[in-house]
């Protein structure tokens, strides 16, 4: 089974702190994603990566950056946390997708981040 | 902004009643995927539809993809308590590989 793990289930940080969220997958997937989930808004893509050191902005990249130095690991960084970044953060991975053969995404358990 | 509209946001049913959620996209999708998120859990993939007009069944769940590949539905027959959760549709844009997610429909079973 694919396993996607995230470094913390719950995290409380202060405004202005630098926050690192780590995600690791064990199935050699090429694609990795970071989403945030807020009630009534579904999942919104922050960044994704289709290869080591490659990254693409999603729909809401402002205030976030990412790092992918190894294939199995994808980090989300909040350079200066703000209260409006309080949310559930979900990491996902998938095999490389083509338009003809897209693959499903496998999710980690999520990190509930509270910024006070 | 969000380009896949999913309705309703919530649906309360008695156990044994049917449940349906609908997704509509403003643009043509190359495929649509459905996920289920149990309370306190993370989204889990259910199924993918790729062909125009495709219908797939998984036991009591029926998934449809519209002829124009702009809409989709999930129908659950005779709901059970194990069906509780939020159901999300997510479609790939034809132009790129990004999944666009609906806001989800939360299925609530009335006690």
Q: In a structure prediction context, what are the per-residue pLDDT tens digits for chain A, which is 116 residues long?
A: 669 999 999 999 999 999 999 999 998 898 999 999 998 888 999 999 988 989 999 989 999 999 999 999 999 999 999 999 999 999 999 987 665 566 889 999 999 999 99
Cβ contact, residue pair B45, A40, below 8 Å: no
Distance CA B54, CA A45 (A): 27
CA-closest candidate to residue A46, choices A26, A30, A66: A66
Cβ contacts below 8 Å, chain A against chain B, sum to: 53
CA-closest candidate to residue A111, choices A20, A14, A2: A20
A36 DSSP β-pair partners: A44, A89
Distance CA B105, CA B89 (A): 9
Alpha-carbon distance A14 to nearest alpha carbon in chain B (angstroms): 24
Contact with chain A for residue B30, Cβ under 8 A: yes
Contact with chain B for residue A34, Cβ under 8 A: no
Q: Which of A75-79, A85-89, B17-21, B94-98 has the lowest mean pLDDT?
A: B94-98
Where does the pLDDT of residue B98 fall: very low under 50, low under 70, confident under 90, or very high at 90 and above? confident
Cβ contact, residue pair A105, B6, below 8 Å: no
Cβ contact, residue pair B99, A109, below 8 Å: no
- What is the rounded average pLDDT of the residues B48-61? 96
Whether the predicted pLDDT of B81 surpasses 70: yes
Whether the predicted pLDDT of B1 surpasses 60: no
User: Tokens standing for B79?
Assistant: 């709901």
Contact with chain A for residue B43, Cβ under 8 A: yes
CA-closest candidate to residue B74, choices B18, B28, B31: B18
Whether the predicted pLDDT of B82 surpasses 80: yes
């Amino acid at each position: 089974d694919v396993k996607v793990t995230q470094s913390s289930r719950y995290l409380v940080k202060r405004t202005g702190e630098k926050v690192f969220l780590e995600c690791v997958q064990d199935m050699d997937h090429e694609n990795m994603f970071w989403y945030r989930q807020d009630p009534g808004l579904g999942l919104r893509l922050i960044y994704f990566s289709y290869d080591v050191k490659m990254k693409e902005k999603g729909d809401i990249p402002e205030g976030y950056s990412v790092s992918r130095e190894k294939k199995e690991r994808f980090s989300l960084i909040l350079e200066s946390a703000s209260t409006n970044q309080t949310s559930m953060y979900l990491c996902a991975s998938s095999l490389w997708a083509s338009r003809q053969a897209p693959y499903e995404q496998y999710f980690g358990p999520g990190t509930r981040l509270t910024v006070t | 902004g969000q380009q896949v509209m999913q309705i309703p946001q919530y649906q309360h049913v008695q156990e044994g009643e049917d449940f349906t959620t609908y997704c509509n996209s403003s643009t043509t999708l190359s495929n649509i995927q459905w996920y289920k998120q149990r309370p306190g859990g993370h989204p889990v993939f259910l199924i993918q539809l790729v062909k125009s007009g495709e219908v797939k069944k998984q036991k009591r769940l029926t998934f449809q993809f519209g002829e124009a590949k702009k809409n989709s539905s999930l129908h659950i027959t005779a709901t059970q308590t194990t069906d509780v959760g939020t159901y999300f549709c997510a479609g790939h844009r034809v132009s790129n590989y990004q999944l666009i997610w609906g806001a989800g429909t939360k299925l609530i079973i009335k006690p």
